[in-house]
Each structure stands twice: as structure tokens, then as C-alpha cells.
Amino acid sequence: MKLYRIVLKDMARRKKRVLFAALGVAIGTMTVVGVLTIALAGQARIYNELEKYGANLAVTPAINNVDTHLGDLSLGTLAVGENYIPEETLPQIRQIADGEIRKARGITDQGDIATIAPELYINTEVKGTSVMVVGVEPNEENKIKTWWNVQEGKYLEGTDQALVGAVAAKLLTLNTGDTVTLNGSTVTVTGILGETGSNDDYQIFVPLETLQKAYGKEGLVSSINIRALCNACPVEIIASAINQNITGVRAIAVKQVAEAEMGIMGRMNRFMWALGGITLMVGLFGVVNTMMSSVNERIKDIGIMRAAGASRNQIMRVFIYEAVIIGILGGIFGYLAGTLLAYIVGPLVFQGININFVLQYLPLSLALAILVAAIATVYPALRATRIRVADSFRSL
């Protein structure tokens, strides 16, 4: 028979106490596991959201702007002449963007990674009203503007079709099936977009090729929106690579939204960690309390063991074994309860969150619980071994 068997037998006799101590440990680990699980699911959700924010790189012609100033007062920027980007730069841009993403993420496959959506802007008059017509690559545009939904009719499917923004449709009283004349070419309205709250509401979208032909702008685009696949993608590196290697264009990383969102996430994570830490501390004091009374109850038993030849180290080991068992019980409880907590509280923090069992948190939970139980046990146990054997019998 070994020392740990004595511990097990003794704990079996004190099931309630042991359970109580384990629950004290579980409360702390539950919060930590719950917080981590919610944070992880929340992060996944925010990444998902960010995917929908559209382009995170914008390429525009390197136009010669004349900044007009009056003293310190800026009067805005005056664009000189019309500026376009030749379409033949598109493969080059793709090469740079995909190359940098591959480098950053360590992937080697050869497929297209970034979504690259060129746009051509033409300011024209439709039914006597000035309106912006935008030529787009229908597939690429749709991938970038994930928030688009076609309220009426269909999305762009072929040439000579038009998709009309919600406000533009109302102002111009356009319905699906109506035709619009653009510089002599006729396009048919196939769909009306739902309201987006952006400039898109005031614009008419037609296939790039159709618009280029109608206005004689073959091979030219006004701007290029690029969406790297991931949010951790090195948009700034891609931007500077494009600026260095392609003349006549200016690439800007659009990352304010992502940064703000991730900033909120970061603060939220720190807050949750703090919350988990505090709960763990509170739990620790609870366990110290439980272990203290557990040790006090057994001062006589400790005396018996020492009179029978137990050294202080052996008595400490008895309590460490007990702490480990309490830690394992508390860790398992804490993990299960923490996941349950995340399941209940998670949706209140992030809407539409998807909570999963995170198995990697089980060892973490166990380690944390054992650590808490051990810390809580060491002090009372150490104190108990300092009592003179004679006193441990006398106190009863």
C-alpha cells in the first residue's frame, strides 16, 4: 500500500468536503474557460464579419493633385484632367498581392487568392439627371460587396445589362425591364439593389466591358478594389509593393475598420482575461478557506500519522495528492461548466455566435485547477505540520 491509497481512502470518507473544495476550484476555472471559449468564438465571428467589409486595398491612378490652400485652410483637392489605370496592370497587381499573401501565410498553391475588382466611373446624364455609372466585373464585384442584395430582378449576368442602386431607381423611376441609353448604347435594367446606405445607392452598375465600349474607354479602369482573403493579410506590404513596382498607380491600405474592430476585440479580450483572473482569485480564497478547515479538521489525524513516523514532507505529500485530486475534479467540472457558461452567455455578448467545445482548453483547465488547489493547500498544510504532535492531540 502506498501513501496515495491512504489519501484516496481518507477522501472517500469525506466526499462532501472534497466535492465542496472541487466546486470552489471549478468556479474559477469555469470563468476562465467560459471567457476563453466566448473570446475564441467571438474572434471567429468578428473575422467573419470583417470578411464582409469589402476591399482592404484601393488602387487609384497616381493623379497630379493640386492641393489648394488659403493660408492654413484647405480648400480641397483639384484633380487635373481625367486619370485612368490601364487594364494590363491587373495581372501584375494580382501577382504582387497573391505573392505577398503566400509569403505571409506560408502557402504555396498557385490559385488566385485575392479578389481584384476593377471599376470604371463615368459621370453621365440619364433621363436628364446627372448620375454616376460604374462599370464592374460582375463576379469580382459581388465577392467584394458581400452586403449587396438584389431587391428586385436579378444580378448582372451578361453584357448590356444594368443594376440600379436603390435611390437612383427611385429618383429616375427605373424598374426592371426598363432601358437606359448610355452614350448611344442601350442597356436593360435587370435588377434593383436593396438600400446599402453607401454611395452605391445613387449609382448604376453595368458590366465593365459594356461601359468601356459605350464611352470609348477600352482597356481603362478608374480604380481597383482588392480584398485580401484574410484579415491578418499584410495589406500595407502589398500596398507598398504595388506602389514600388507599378508606375502610375497609387495603392492605399484600407484598414481603419478592421483596426477599429480588432481594437475592440483586443480590449474585450483583456477585459475578459481580467474578469477570469479576478474570479480565479476569488475562487482561490474560497478554496484556501475550505482547505483550511479541512486541514483543521484533520489535525488529530496528522498527529496520528506523525506519531506513526510520518515526516513533514510526507504529510505535505498527503495534502498535495489531495490537492491534485481536487484539482482534477474541479478542472473537469470547470471545463464543462465553463463551456456551458459560454453557451448561455456567449450569444448575449456576440449575436449569432457559434460556441464549440474547445478540447485544448481541457488540459489548460486541469492545469489551472490543480495549480489553484495546490496553492490553496500549501499554506494550511504547512501550518499543520508545524504543530507539535503533542498539541495536535491536546487540541481535541
The residues that touch other proteins, with contacts defined as CB under 8 A, are: 1-3, 6, 9-10, 12-13, 300-301, 303-312, 314, 388-391, 393
321's CB contacts (< 8 A; 6+ apart) are 3, 4, 7
User: What is the total residue count of the chain?
Assistant: 396
Cβ neighbour number for residue 106 with a 10 Å cutoff: 6
Among 278, 272, 288, 275, smallest CA distance to 372 is for 288
Cα three-residue angle 371-376-378, rounded to 5 degrees: 95
Q: Which is nearer to other proteins, 61 or 303 (CB)?
A: 303
Shortest reach from residue 50's CB to other proteins, in Å? 58
Give CA–CA dist 83/143, Å, rounded.
26
Identity of the residue, 213 or 300, whose beta carbon is nearer to other proteins in the bound complex: 300
Residue 152 or 301 with smaller CB distance to other proteins: 301
Residue 17 CB, nearest approach to other proteins (Å)? 13
Residue 6 or 349: the one with the smaller Cβ distance to other proteins is: 6
To other proteins, the closest distance from the beta carbon of 105 in angstroms equals 57
Q: Which amino acid is at 272?
A: M
Beta bridge partners of residue 193, listed in sequence order: 150
Beta carbon of residue 293, minimum distance to other proteins (angstroms, whole number): 18
Encode burial over 331-370: b for 16+ CB neighbours within 10 A, e otherwise: bbbbbbbbbebbbeebeebbeebebeebeebbebbbebbb
**Smallest distance, other proteins to C-beta of residue 292, A:** 20
Pairing type for strands 150-153 and 179-182 reads unpaired
Which residues have CB under 8 Å from 22's CB, separation 6+? 326, 329, 330, 333
What is the grid cell recorded at 159? 453584357
> What separation, in Å, do the N-terminal and C-terminal C-alpha atoms of the chain show?
29
Query: Are the C-beta atoms of residues 49 and 350 closer than 8 Å to each other?
Result: no
Residue from 378, 272, 367 nearest 327 by CA: 367
Residue number, 195 or 391, with CB nearest to other proteins: 391
Q: Which is nearer to other proteins, 14 or 250 (CB)?
A: 14
Q: Which residue's CB is nearer to other proteins, number 243 or number 314?
A: 314
Min dist. Cβ of residue 26 to other proteins (A): 24
In the complex, least distance from residue 318 CB atom to other proteins, rounded to whole angstroms: 10
Minimum CB distance to other proteins, residue 373 (Å): 20
Q: Which is nearer to other proteins, 250 or 300 (CB)?
A: 300
